[in-house]
C-alpha cells in the first residue's frame, strides 16, 4: 500500500496580493473570505505561566508548543479540523508494510537566516531529542511515535546513528517505525520532531533561543522575550509561505491572575484570554459573541505520590480509591467551573476519535453511594477519627486550580475527615516538585499530543517520564506494549482504563473544554481542532464595522 499526501496550491497563497488593494472603506480584504481586514494585524493573548523552554526538543507544556508552532515548522501541520496537511514536507509515501515513511521536502523552505531547510536538519533535530545528553523531558515521545530503536537510543544503549531516521538527500527524509501506527503522521506535527539549526545551537549552546541568537523556520521569528512578562514574535520574511500570512505580530502576555487577565481583555488589551472558573454563564449572557466554550482534548486530574518518598497511606489502593470516590465531580464541573467541562472517571478524553469509554463502576453510582463506599474503604485501611489522615495538595498558581483544590479538600474533610493543606507553586518549581516526587497529592493536566488514546494511557506505564506518581502495574505495561502491534487496540486501551480505575492510579476530575473570551474580530480560530493546535499564520483581525 502506498499513501501519499500532496500540497495543492493554496488559494490564500495565490490571492494574498489582493489583500494590499484598498477597498472603498479604506481596508484591505481577506483574499479568501472577502472580509475587510483591520489596518493593524496584531494578536495578543494571555498565558498563565512563563515558558520553561521554547526549544522544540525541550518543550514539555502546551504554551511552549503554541510558541514553537509559530517559530518552527515540522514535516506536517494541522488544519482547522485537526487533519494532517503539508508543512515543510509536500507529502509522504508509506511502504507496503507500513513501516517506512518517505517525506519529500519543499525546496523553498528556508531558515530565518536564509539557509535552506534540509532533511539533515530534521535528522539533527530528532537525534538531538533522542540524545541522552540533551536530557529532553519529551524523549519518550520518539518511542510513542514508534521511531525504530528510539527506546535503546534514548537510554544510551545504541548510538544516535541507529535511530530510525535518515536523510536520503537534502529534500528526502526517511523515517522507519517499529510497527504500523496509523497516527504516526500526526506525531510529525509535534515540536519534538521539528528540525533544528545545528550551527546556531553549536554556536550559542543553551542561549540559542535568545531573541538575538535564534534561527527558526516557521512563519514567525522571536523578537522579544521578557521573563514573567511577555514573549513577542513577528512575521518571518524567509518563511516559504509568508505571502499567505496576515497577522504581523503575536504577543503572549504572562498573567498569573485570571481575573486580572479578564479585566485587561475587557479593557481591549487582549484579543483572547481564559475565563475564570465559574464566570462563563455570566459572561456568556453579557458577551454572547465573545464568551465561547468548545471541547479540548485535555484531562484534569490529581496524582498520588506512590514512590518510596510518598506517604505510606497512598501506597494503599483502598486509600486512593476512597479519596477518588469522595470527589464530587459534578459539583466541580457545574458549580466551580461552569464552563462546559465534563466529569471524568477515566483519563482518556471522551472526544478522542474512535474512543469508547468503558464501564467504570464508579461512574454509574450516585455520589451518596460513592461517599458510603469511600468511608468504608478508608476505615478498612485503618484511618478514621482515632487515626486521621492528613495530606498536602500541591498545584501551580492559578485561581481556578486553587478553587478546585479548596473544593476537593472540603469534600475530603466532610466525607472522610481527611485534613488537606494546600500549597501553590510557580510553574517551573511545580514541575520540578512533581518530577522529583517531592509531594503527596498534586494537580495534573494532560493534553493530547495526537488524537489517539495512547497519548493519555502511556502515562500509566512504569517507564513513562511523565508518570510523576510512579504508578506501576505489570498488566498495564503488557497491555500497552501489546496495543502497539494490535490491529484493534481499543479493547486493550479500555482494559487499561479499567485497571487504572480499580487501582485508583489517579483521580480523574474532569475533561477540559476551552472556555475563553475571544474578540469578535479575531477570525479563523480552529474551534473544530480537538487538540487545539493553532497557528497564528492562519488567523486574522477583521475590521470593526
Is there a contact between 441 and 449 (Cβ–Cβ < 8 Å)?
A: no
Cell 553549536 found at: 202
pLDDT at 465: 84
Cα 150 to Cα 143: distance, rounded to the nearest angstrom: 5
Cα–Cα distance measured from residue 301 to residue 436, given in angstroms and rounded to the nearest whole number: 18
* pLDDT, position 545: 62
| Helices and strands counted in the chain (H then E) | 17, 19
User: Which DSSP state fits 29?
Assistant: B
Contact 438, 309 (CB under 8 A): yes
3-state SS of 506-518 is EEEEEEEEEEEEE
Query: C-alpha 415: how far from its chain's center?
Result: 34
* pLDDT (0 to 100) of residue 166: 98
Distances (CA, A) of 98 to 14, 181, 367: 35, 8, 47
Q: What is the DSSP letter of 337?
A: I
Q: Can you give the pLDDT at residue 25? A: 38
pLDDT of 396-413, one tens digit each? 999 999 999 999 999 999
Task: Report d(CA 496, CA 19) in Å as an integer.
Answer: 52
pTM beyond 0.95: no
Please write the tens of the pLDDT for every residue from 299-357: 999 999 999 999 999 999 999 999 999 999 999 999 999 999 999 999 999 999 889 99
Would you state the cell numbers that stand for residue 424, as one nine-digit string? Answer: 501553590
What are the residue ranges in the chain where pLDDT is below 70? 1-27, 545
- Cell of residue 175, nine digits: 523515517
Q: Name 488's Cβ contacts closer than 8 Å, sequence gap at least 6.
A: none
> What pLDDT was estimated at residue 3?
37
Could you give the CA distance from residue 44 to residue 61 in angstroms, rounded to a whole number? 19
The pLDDT, as a whole number, for residue 47 is: 96
Reported as a single tens digit per residue, the pLDDT across 114-155 is 999 999 999 999 999 999 999 998 999 999 899 999 999 999
Cα 324 to the chain's mean position, in Å?
25
- For position 487, what pLDDT does the model report? 86
The pLDDT score that the predictor gives to residue 59 is: 94
| Contact indicator for 131, 156 with CB cutoff of 8 Å | no
Residue 142, classified by CB atoms within 10 Å of its CB into exposed (0-12), middle (13-18) or buried (19+), is buried
Count CB atoms within 10 A of the CB of residue 96. 8
Cell of 384: 478514621
Amino acid at each position: 500500500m502506498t499513501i501519499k499526501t500532496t500540497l495543492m496550491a493554496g488559494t490564500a497563497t495565490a490571492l494574498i496580493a489582493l489583500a494590499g488593494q484598498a477597498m472603498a472603506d479604506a481596508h484591505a480584504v481577506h483574499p479568501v473570505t472577502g472580509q475587510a481586514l483591520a489596518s493593524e494585524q496584531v494578536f495578543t493573548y494571555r498565558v498563565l505561566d512563563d515558558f520553561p523552554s521554547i526549544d522544540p526538543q525541550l518543550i514539555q507544556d502546551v504554551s511552549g508548543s503554541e510558541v514553537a508552532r509559530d517559530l518552527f515548522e515540522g514535516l506536517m501541520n494541522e488544519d482547522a479540523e485537526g487533519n494532517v496537511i503539508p508543512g515543510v514536507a509536500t507529502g509522504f509515501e508509506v511502504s507496503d508494510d507500513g513501516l517506512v515513511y518517505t517525506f519529500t521536502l519543499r525546496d523553498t523552505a528556508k531558515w530565518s537566516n536564509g539557509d535552506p531547510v534540509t532533511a539533515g536538519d530534521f535528522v539533527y533535530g530528532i537525534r538531538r531529542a533522542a540524545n541522552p545528553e540533551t536530557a529532553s523531558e519529551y524523549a519518550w515521545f520518539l518511542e510513542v511515535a514508534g521511531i525504530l530503536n528510539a527506546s535503546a537510543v534514548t537510554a544510551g544503549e545504541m548510538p544516535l546513528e541507529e535511530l530510525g531516521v535518515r536523510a536520503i538527500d537534502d529534500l528526502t527524509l526517511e523515517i522507519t517505525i517499529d510497527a504500523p501506527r496509523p497516527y504516526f503522521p500526526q506525531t510529525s506535527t509535534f515540536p519534538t520532531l521539528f528540525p533544528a539549526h545545528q550551527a546556531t545551537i553549536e554556536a550559542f549552546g543553551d542561549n540559542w533561543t535568545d531573541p538575538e541568537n535564534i534561527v527558526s523556520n516557521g512563519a514567525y521569528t522571536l523578537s522579544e522575550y521578557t521573563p514573567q512578562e511577555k514573549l513577542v514574535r513577528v512575521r518571518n520574511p524567509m518563511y516559504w509561505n509568508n505571502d499567505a500570512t496576515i497577522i504581523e505580530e503575536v504577543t503572549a502576555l504572562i498573567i498569573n491572575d485570571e481575573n486580572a487577565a479578564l479585566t485587561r481583555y475587557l479593557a481591549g488589551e487582549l484579543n483572547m484570554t481564559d475565563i475564570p472558573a465559574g464566570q462563563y454563564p455570566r459572561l456568556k449572557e453579557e458577551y454572547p459573541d465573545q464568551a465561547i466554550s468548545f471541547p479540548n482534548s485535555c484531562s484534569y486530574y490529581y496524582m498520588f505520590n506512590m514512590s518510596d518518598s510518598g506517604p505510606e497511606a497512598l501506597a494503599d489502593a483502598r486509600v486512593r480509591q476512597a479519596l477518588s470516590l469522595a470527589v464530587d465531580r459534578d459539583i466541580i464541573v457545574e458549580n466551580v467551573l461552569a464552563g462546559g467541562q465534563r466529569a471524568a472517571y477515566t483519563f482518556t478524553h471522551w472526544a478522542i476519535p474512535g474512543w469508547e469509554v468503558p464501564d467504570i463502576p464508579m461512574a454509574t453510582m450516585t455520589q451518596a453511594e460513592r461517599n458510603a463506599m469511600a468511608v468504608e474503604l478508608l476505615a478498612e485501611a485503618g484511618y478514621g477519627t482515632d487515626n486521621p489522615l492528613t495530606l498536602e495538595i500541591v498545584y501551580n498558581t492559578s485561581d481556578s486550580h486553587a478553587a478546585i483544590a479548596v473544593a476537593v479538600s472540603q469534600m475530603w474533610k466532610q466525607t472522610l475527615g481527611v485534613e488537606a493543606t494546600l500549597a501553590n507553586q510557580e510553574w517551573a518549581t511545580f514541575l520540578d516538585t512533581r518530577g522529583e516526587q517531592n509531594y503527596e497529592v498534586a494537580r495534573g493536566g494532560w493534553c493530547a499530543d495526537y488524537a489517539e488514546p495512547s497519548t493519555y494511557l502511556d502515562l500509566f506505564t512504569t517507564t513513562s517520564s511523565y508518570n510523576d506518581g510512579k504508578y506501576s502495574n505489570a498488566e498495564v505495561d503488557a497491555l500497552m506494549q501489546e496495543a502497539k502491534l494490535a490491529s484493534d487496540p481499543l479493547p486493550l486501551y479500555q482494559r487499561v482504563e479499567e485497571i487504572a480505575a480499580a487501582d485508583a492510579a489517579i483521580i480523574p476530575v474532569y475533561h477540559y473544554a476551552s472556555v475563553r473570551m475571544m474578540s469578535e474580530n479575531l477570525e479563523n480560530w480552529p474551534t473544530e481542532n480537538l487538540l487545539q493546535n493553532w497557528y497564528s499564520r492562519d488567523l486574522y483581525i477583521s475590521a470593526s464595522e
